[in-house]
Amino acid sequence: MNEILMIARKELLSVVRERRVLFTTLILPILIMPLLMFGPILLFGSAARQTQESVQKVGVVGVPAAVLEQLRKARVEPVEIAKPQEAVQNREVEAALVFEKDKYTLYGRLSGGATQSALVVEKVQGALRAYKDQLVAERLRARGIGTEVLEPFRLETKDASREQERAAGLFAFLIPYFLVLFIQMGGMPVAVDATAGEKEKGTLEALLAAPVPLIQILLGKGLAVFVMSLLSTLAALTGLLLGGAVFRNLFAAQLRAVQDGENPAQLGGALALDPLGYLSMLLTGVLFALLIIAIMISLGLYARSFKEAQSYMSPLMLVMIIPILFLQFSDFLKLQDWYFTLPFINVVLALDALVKGSATALQLVITWLSTLLFAGMALYLAYRNFQREDVVFRN
């Protein structure tokens, strides 16, 4: 046991003295997480508000005077143009409205996500809706019919999600994603340094000549990777939770405007789990960390150099994206319990279910046991690799 701790301590000392690694694995996540979460939303919110408040040019062709008046009320400036589509494409106007034979055609730059043009299109649509409602009301009145005929019943939509899921907000998606990502990202530099790095630097042979069983060397290295994974994940979660709270205080007004404005955006959230829920999340994360660390060490031991190890481990990141993508569509699937035996996918599904408060005991137990089994297999593979002379002296 002592040897394991000494080896882990040595690996961690080497990392702590590498400022670049320390910064990218521990400091950067704390700084970057709130920016990642709230930055784009704030920027978009601010841009959207400015678009709402300022006046933009909209090209018009054959549009009646009454509609032009409605457009001006909606804070857009109608400009007569000849070629509406080209004018929008060349950004001479943000949108263009053409009226022809009882039909309005609205042009805007609608591809490529949130654009200013899309917001102006919404403004014009709003103006046209208001004008249409006005026309309908006038015509009904002319026939002696009240406008209530247009609304024979009322429709109210209520969110029936679990309390935890509602409270979690964006976290419901982000927590599994970031846990998986940071467990891997945090451990990778140490995993590479402790395996292929030792080979490349010529330090492994001295360690192997010491009277320490291979399994203890392996466990010592694994422990160091585990500690860094854990610290990196904690740093990311701290950034997410504390940084988020600081951000919310600093930009309270702006965030409220984004949340309550015409284009409300879902912001952050908070975990509302009972102690057992947190413990289950911790256990799931720890087991996943064991699995991913054993895989990384196995790959690192096989590699000849830093570069080779990184080229083996980087695709692992891409592999991890698959369960994350799967998670996005999991709501459309009827989740079967056996899904929780699938490596990686089970962890993401279990974390997602835990955050949303929908995890069953059976699903969690299946996830934990299968992940433990996969971790054991990966650890055995790493040990076998470590025993192989052609792998250890493959440099």
Please give the residue ranges that form the binding site for another protein (CB under 8 A): 2-3, 6, 10, 13-14, 17-18, 201-203, 205-206, 208-213, 389-390, 392-393
Report CA-CA distances (Å) from 44 to 121, 195, 211, 263: 16, 44, 60, 10
Comparison of 209 and 333: residue with beta carbon closer to another protein: 209
The minimum distance between CB 312 and another protein, in angstroms, equals: 23
Residue with smaller CB distance to another protein, 3 or 92: 3
Residue 285: other Cβ atoms inside 10 A? 23
Nearest approach, Cβ of residue 233 and another protein (Å): 24
In order of 30, 32, 46, 170, 289, the CA distances from 240 in angstroms are 7, 9, 22, 11, 20
Half-sphere exposure of 56 (CA within 13 A, CB side): 26
Q: What b-and-e string marks burial along 237-274, b requiring 16 or more CB atoms within 10 Å of the CB?
A: bebbbebbeebbeebeebbebbeeeeeeeebbbebbbe
> In whole angstroms, how close is the CB of 212 to another protein at the nearest point?
6
Going from the C-alpha of 323 to that of each of 191, 241, 295, 361, the distances in angstroms are: 23, 24, 17, 21
Nearer to another protein, 132 or 201 (CB): 201
CB nearer another protein, residue 2 or residue 249: 2
In one letter, which amino acid is 57? K
Give every CB contact of residue 267 below 8 A, 6+ residues apart in sequence. Answer: 38, 41, 169, 170, 255, 258, 259
Q: Minimum CB separation from another protein for residue 361, in Å?
A: 44
Residue 165 or 198: the one with the smaller Cβ distance to another protein is 198
Min separation Cβ 211 and another protein, Å: 4
Read off the tokens for 57: 């040019």
Give the CA diameter of the chain: 100
Structure tokens at 302: 């096989």
Closest separation in Å from C-beta 254 to another protein: 44
CB of 2 to another protein, least distance (A): 7
Output Rg (C-alpha) for the chain, integer angstroms: 29
Q: In the bound complex, what is the minimum distance in angstroms from residue 201's beta carbon to another protein? A: 6
Name the residue nearer to another protein (CB basis): 84 or 197.
197
CB-nearer residue toward another protein: 212 or 335: 212
Smaller CB distance to another protein: residue 63 or 194? 194
Name the β-bridge partners of 61. Answer: 98
Contact yes or no for 18/232 (Cβ under 8 A):
no
